[in-house]
A = this chain, B = another copy of it.
Amino acid sequence: MTDAEPIPGAPPPITGEGTFVQLLTPEGERLHHPEYDLELSDDDYRSLFRDLVLVRRIDAEATALQRQGELGLWASLLGQEAAQVGAGRALRPADMAFPTYREHGVAWCRGIDPLTLLGLFRGTTNGGWRPDEHRFALYTIVIGDQCPQAVGYAMGIQLDGAEEAVMVFFGDGASSQGDVNESFIWASVFNAPVVFFCQNNQWAISEPLERQTRIPLYQRANGFGFPGIRVDGNDVLATLAVTTAMMQRAREGGGPSLIEAYTYRMGAHTTSDDPTRYRLGSDVEAWKLRDPIERLRSFLYKQQLVDAAFFAALDEEAEALAVHLRDGVRALPDPSTGSMFDHAYAEPHAQVDADRADFEAYLAGFAEEAR
């Protein structure tokens, strides 16, 4: 990975090709890389493909459920499946991940039932899963807040002397937040076992990357004293290879690194967004040619690793998953009104107790009236 130094005064064009690690071209051609490579079994390839397909299906289903009014909102990962599955599969069970609100693909790799994710977007919970069990923190909505937390967790790993590492996810927009940059400093100063995984999907809602940086984002690491690597984020193999290497480096005491996964947000920012106001359909079309799933499909075909039965089985699995989500989301119970008060604090708090008592008396008043 070599890259020209930024030219003062003249921002270099921000492009992908030629600056990133790629192991699978958009046409499905398998490349090799001197530093980052992978030895994968046939099963590995198929299983990566399966993850990509299922994750996309989860996303499509959730988008549909939002349209049907079952979810208040959905933040689609369309186009970012490879970045997320590649990174997610580089995690070992004991490693910890800190997501934003879009890491459904990583959640999948952490064994979280996607139905659980829907609860948050339906409004039945602000969390949903047990971060300690899945080693996958709760979604973070305030941009960047998870980064210092990830470093703190990584410092805990150091205190424990454990051979584990943390991967923290954030976006191109998030790279502008103070907290994110502070976390680079902390990770560097404490040599914390943390991998910063930035999905540069080119957009922060309506703002293009140029509003966040004048130089490629992976070069941000140059200012903080650890390696920065750009990977083709639409290439699951490359992403898996680079994240695996950097996580291992972190576990072994090599310290932090920044990975920029160069990708594209194919859909709207969320279901509330209208991207036609700020970007060209032709850009989106161009990125379709780099689709993360199609290139692996081509590769599988060319290598004859799959047959019709494989796809039929996968279709069936995806369909079953969709049914699980459709049925499951409607069956998600609304939280009880009392649950508001249950978890404001871990220990009893007089004010909460008083509020709960008042509210119960108020509700009881209605019940009485009704009688």
Binding site for B on A (CB under 8 A): 5-6, 8-9, 11, 175-179, 181-182, 185, 188-189, 191, 210-215, 219-227, 254-255, 257
Smallest Cβ-Cβ distance to A216: which chain B residue: B225
Whether B226 contacts A223 by the Cβ 8 Å rule is: no
How many Å lie between the Cα of A214 and that of B6 in the bound state? 21
Whether A226 contacts B189 by the Cβ 8 Å rule is: no
18 A-B residue pairings within 8 Å (CB atoms) = A6-B225, A8-B225, A8-B226, A8-B254, A9-B254, A9-B255, A11-B225, A181-B182, A188-B213, A188-B214, A189-B211, A213-B224, A214-B224, A215-B225, A219-B222, A219-B225, A220-B223, A222-B222
Smallest Cβ-Cβ distance to A210: which chain B residue: B189
Q: CB-CB < 8 A to A189: which residues of B?
A: 210-214
CB distance from A255 to the nearest CB of B (A): 6
How many Å lie between the Cα of A11 and that of B215 in the bound state? 24
Whether B177 contacts A182 by the Cβ 8 Å rule is: yes
Interface centre among A181, A213, A224 (most CB of B within 10 A): A181
A214-B224, A219-B225 known; 15 new pairs, CB 8 Å cut-off, are A6-B222, A8-B227, A8-B257, A175-B185, A176-B182, A176-B185, A177-B178, A178-B181, A178-B182, A181-B181, A189-B211, A214-B225, A215-B224, A219-B222, A222-B222
CB distance from A186 to the nearest CB of B (A): 8
Whether B213 contacts A255 by the Cβ 8 Å rule is: no
Smallest Cβ-Cβ distance to A215: which chain B residue: B225
Whether A213 contacts B185 by the Cβ 8 Å rule is: yes
How many Å lie between the Cα of A32 and that of B227 in the bound state? 35
How many Å lie between the Cα of A188 and that of B176 in the bound state? 11
CB distance from A200 to the nearest CB of B (A): 15
CB distance from A144 to the nearest CB of B (A): 9
Q: CB-CB < 8 A to A11: which residues of B?
A: 225
Q: CB-CB < 8 A to A178: which residues of B?
A: 177-179, 181-182
CB distance from A197 to the nearest CB of B (A): 17
How many Å lie between the Cα of A221 and that of B220 in the bound state? 9
Q: CB-CB < 8 A to A225: which residues of B?
A: 6, 8, 11, 213-215, 219
CB distance from A95 to the nearest CB of B (A): 20
Q: CB-CB < 8 A to A181: which residues of B?
A: 178, 181-182
CB distance from A184 to the nearest CB of B (A): 8
Smallest Cβ-Cβ distance to A181: which chain B residue: B181
Smallest Cβ-Cβ distance to A225: which chain B residue: B215
CB distance from A213 to the nearest CB of B (A): 7
How many Å lie between the Cα of A178 and that of B145 in the bound state? 12
Whether B223 contacts A224 by the Cβ 8 Å rule is: yes
Q: CB-CB < 8 A to A179: which residues of B?
A: 178
CB distance from A99 to the nearest CB of B (A): 21
Interface centre among A8, A211, A254, A255 (most CB of B within 10 A): A8
